[in-house]
Amino acid sequence: MNLLLIVILAASLPTFRDFSRIDRERRTTGQFQTAESLQATRVDPKLIASTVKQHADDPEILWGAAELLTDWPGQKSMFESALRAGGTNVAVALRFACAAARHSDFDLAARWLRHCEEKDAANTAPWLVELWVEHQQKLPGKLANPAGKPPTEFRDYGADTARTRIHLLEAAGYSPYSARRLGFAPDSALLNMAGDLCRPPVSDAALPLLEGAARVMQRHPTFIATELVGESVERKLLALRKDAGANETIQARVEEMRARREELINLISTVELNTIDLASEEQMVHYFDDVFESGEEAAMRQLAIDVRRQLQP
């Protein structure tokens, strides 16, 4: 990439001020997306291709390209390149399997899901994707509880994915803030699949897997969305119980989840309305990095503290 192209590219990329103004206008007007915000959050495939060409031996760049591309042939090619360069990384394999499943390439998805189930046996995530694939193929109930054991962990590798996006975007010329803002895009296909799987009817064979997954998704995940989806899945599964209306234990658990959900929603709302607009670019970069270290909830609380401290006379 020559110097002139870098200068032109840098001048056209969204800045901290651009994102701040777009967010403020979105909250003021109540619009979720506008033409300008959509444009700012899209990454040009040509930019991705040129960056990959400059870093063709970097597995993180290749994985980041696979995550940022939207066309399936391009995604597939980049995932395959990332797996070759990174030595069949389990995180890349699972994300590849999810993308393949979402695009109805079920044979390819099954191949990599088996790989993930063998290499990361405690992770319930590949089993959820396999169950979702079976539902898409009209084969509900085929999947038994994995190896007869309840799931003990949930890893969709969302944090690893965000890091690779950021790595590619910074290599492409985005500022540290803009790269993080775009790299943290919440697009976990696996979370959507988990939500789909708890719609009735739910087979008896699938229940242990779904119930276990719902619980582990709520155990201090990196991203708040994972906990909220886990709570939603558990709540819906409990509602399917015949004694849901009379069982005091179920009612107490539902109330506990309702209170926790309200706490998280209030935190998100408070930070978005009372903190984000007052934070500096440096503070926002630090916030995104904190998410990796301590999780999104803790990072939000710390950002609110830092901004309040900054405003004190």
Residue 157 counted as domain residue:
yes
Contact, 81 vs 58, CB < 8 A?
no
Residue 132 counted as domain residue:
yes
Residue 4 counted as domain residue:
no
Q: What is the mean pLDDT of residues 68-76?
A: 93
Cα separation, 47 vs 173, whole angstroms? 10
Q: What percentage of the chain carries pLDDT values higher than 70?
A: 82
Amino acid present at 295: G
Domain that holds residue 193: 43-213
What is the model's pLDDT at position 28?
54
Give the total number of structural domains in the chain.
Answer: 1
Q: Is 87 helix (H, G, I), strand (E, B) or coil?
A: coil
For helices 158-171 and 45-54, the axis angle rounded to 10 degrees is 80
Residue 285 counted as domain residue:
no
Contact, 150 vs 208, CB < 8 A?
yes
Residue 310 counted as domain residue:
no
14 cis-preceded (ω within 30 degrees of 0):
no
What is the model's pLDDT at position 139?
76
What is the model's pLDDT at position 11?
41
Q: Is 17 helix (H, G, I), strand (E, B) or coil?
A: helix
Cα separation, 51 vs 54, whole angstroms? 5
Residue 312 counted as domain residue:
no
Mean confidence (pLDDT) of the chain? 84
- Whether residue 150 is predicted with pLDDT greater than 50 in this model: the reply is yes
What is the model's pLDDT at position 85?
92
Residue 153 counted as domain residue:
yes
Cα separation, 260 vs 79, whole angstroms? 37
What is the model's pLDDT at position 273?
83
Cα separation, 262 vs 258, whole angstroms? 6
Query: Which one of 3-12, 105-114, 119-128 scores highest in mean pLDDT?
Result: 105-114
Closest by CA position to 126, among listed 134, 135, 117: 117
- The structure tokens listed for 155 are 């890893």
Cα separation, 142 vs 200, whole angstroms? 16
- The structure tokens listed for 115 are 């790989």
What is the model's pLDDT at position 8?
37
Contact, 172 vs 51, CB < 8 A?
yes
Residue 207 counted as domain residue:
yes
pLDDT digits (tens, 9 = 90+) for 3-19: 333 333 444 576 665 55
pLDDT digits (tens, 9 = 90+) for 229-264: 999 999 999 998 888 888 899 999 999 999 999 999
Cα separation, 160 vs 165, whole angstroms? 9
Q: Count Cβ atoms below 10 Å from residue 54 Cβ, excluding itself.
A: 12
What is the model's pLDDT at position 9?
41
Can you give 112-135 as a three-state secondary structure string? HHHHHHHHCCCECHHHHHHHHHHH
Contacts of residues 48-52 at CB distance under 8 Å and 24 or more positions apart, as own/partner, are 48/168, 48/172, 50/1, 50/172, 51/1, 51/168, 51/171, 51/172, 52/78
pLDDT band per the 50, 70, 90 thresholds, residue 41 = low
Report the CATH number at residue 172.
Answer: 1.25.40
pTM of the full structure: 0.85
